Amino acid sequence: MTSLDDETARAERPRPLRHRNFRLLVTGSATSSLGNAIAPVALAFAVLDLGGSASDLGLVVAAYALADVVTVLFGGVLGDRVARQVLMEGSNAVCALSQAAVAVLIIGGWATVPLLALLGVVNGCLGALSGPSSSAMTRMTVPPDLLGSAVALRGLLQTSAAVVGYAVGGVLVAGVGPGWAIGVDAATFAVAAFCFGRLDVPHTRPEGARASMFGDMAEGLREVLRHTWLWLLIGQALLYHLFYGGAQSVVGPIVMGDEFGRSSWGLALGVLMAGFVVGGLICLRWKPRRALFIGTVLLSLTGTFPLAMALSDHLWPILVGAFLHGVGLQIFDVFWQVSIQENIAEDKLARVYSFDLVGSFIARPIGLAATGPIAEAVGFDHWLVVVGCVMSGSALISLSSGDVRRLQRQS
């Protein structure tokens, strides 16, 4: 009877979860996403408890982001040179030790703001080394016909874990303090390292002499530039993060707080995350042939959130805009990931992902720094209109490329 029940349970699982390697990958990735959502909440209050200012907190966060961007290209090269699961296991194991050290320093009262910034740089570098390999790993854990479903399911589980992590982070900080919360983050890295260490996937080392690290980066860049749809939408992502980063982190809280109260901003972000989850659920079933084209059309919905904040005197249109933003972005992201994994050669995949990450996020710090002065000069509502038009307009302009419109999904 037990074996029959086990067989029934396996049959009811989503098909990608029937594969052991995929279960290990998503367990490690979702656990890591949970911890990565807890950490910023805990770190913010740790810095403030040390007497740090908002500027100090900004510097600590910026140090992490800068280290991540600088290191990710090397992570892409390494991901195409060495066994990816080894890189992922080692990176997460060392991150567990590093975050445990941060937790001990905070709990023991030995932490300082500069020391937290330094350890943030270490964690940023370590996380960036394994990021491209983690993204490239999905197609090594499932058969080709399940790749689309696997990408959608992985994104859904990671997003859901992050939603839980933000809530858990606040509870932990309030209940036991930021040091212990960061200790929980360290434990999630350890769990992820254990899961990645148990992966059993093939690794084919490229034959012949390898180029230098920078030569390998150049080869990865040439691969990106060889696909019009790839470099064009990476450029669109650069604009998205350049404009939207500041709208979410700087202007949004001010506009929403002044108009509807501070709790309304938390509600809007919660609805945004709900949109991500719904978008992920849709992608589990919906597999259009021209997925990249449809995903890019839906990406234009992201502009509805800042436009609603600028133009509406009522809360509900803003919540609808936030929800549409989440749904559109998540569906695009799944179709984008599938497009990359189906059309890029295995020996270049991690490097292509590294350029995707750098191209997408390199302008975000500029946007964060520039948004406040610009919005104050032109007016918050006017700036949000500009942001919404750029976000939606850049996505729609990308559709002028035949490569974006015609790319066919294979799974």
Check whether residue 171 and residue 277 sit in a common domain: no
Instruction: Place 210 in a pLDDT band, splitting at 50, 70 and 90.
Output: low
Give a yes or no: residue 284 inside a domain: yes
Mean pLDDT of the chain: 83
* Residue-level pLDDT at 12: 47
* Residue-level pLDDT at 156: 86
Check whether residue 140 and residue 46 sit in a common domain: yes
Check whether residue 14 and residue 163 sit in a common domain: yes
Most confident of 5-19, 146-160, 247-261, 290-304: 290-304
Q: At which of 200, 225, 253 does a domain end?
A: 200
Check whether residue 191 and residue 222 sit in a common domain: no
Check whether residue 110 and residue 222 sit in a common domain: no
pLDDT above 60 for 206: no
Q: Could you tell me the CATH number of the domain that includes residue 160?
A: 1.20.1250.20
Q: At which of 142, 175, 200 does a domain end?
A: 200
Write out the residue range of the structural domain in which residue 34 sits.
2-200
Most confident of 103-107, 113-117, 157-161, 261-265: 103-107
Check whether residue 303 and residue 257 sit in a common domain: yes
Give a yes or no: residue 205 inside a domain: no
Check whether residue 188 and residue 44 sit in a common domain: yes
Check whether residue 187 and residue 255 sit in a common domain: no
pLDDT above 60 for 117: yes
Give a yes or no: residue 207 inside a domain: no
Give a yes or no: residue 206 inside a domain: no
pLDDT above 50 for 9: no
Give a yes or no: residue 232 inside a domain: yes
Check whether residue 231 and residue 369 sit in a common domain: yes
* Residue-level pLDDT at 262: 65
- How many distinct structural domains can be found in the chain? 2
Give a yes or no: residue 211 inside a domain: no
Q: Return all residues near 292 (Cβ < 8 A) that are at least 6 apart.
A: 229, 233, 335, 336, 339, 404, 407, 409
Reported as a single tens digit per residue, the pLDDT across 324-355 is 999 999 999 999 988 998 898 888 888 888 88
pLDDT above 80 for 35: yes
Q: At which of 153, 173, 200 does a domain end?
A: 200
* Residue-level pLDDT at 322: 92
* Residue-level pLDDT at 395: 95
Check whether residue 138 and residue 237 sit in a common domain: no
Check whether residue 237 and residue 278 sit in a common domain: yes
Instruction: Place 7 in a pLDDT band, splitting at 50, 70 and 90.
Output: very low
Give a yes or no: residue 209 inside a domain: no
Residue range 140-149: average pLDDT? 86
Instruction: Place 399 in a pLDDT band, splitting at 50, 70 and 90.
Output: very high
* Residue-level pLDDT at 53: 64
Q: Percent of the chain beyond pLDDT 70?
A: 90
Check whether residue 188 and residue 301 sit in a common domain: no
Reported as a single tens digit per residue, the pLDDT across 65-94 is 777 777 877 777 777 777 788 888 888 898
Give a yes or no: residue 208 inside a domain: no
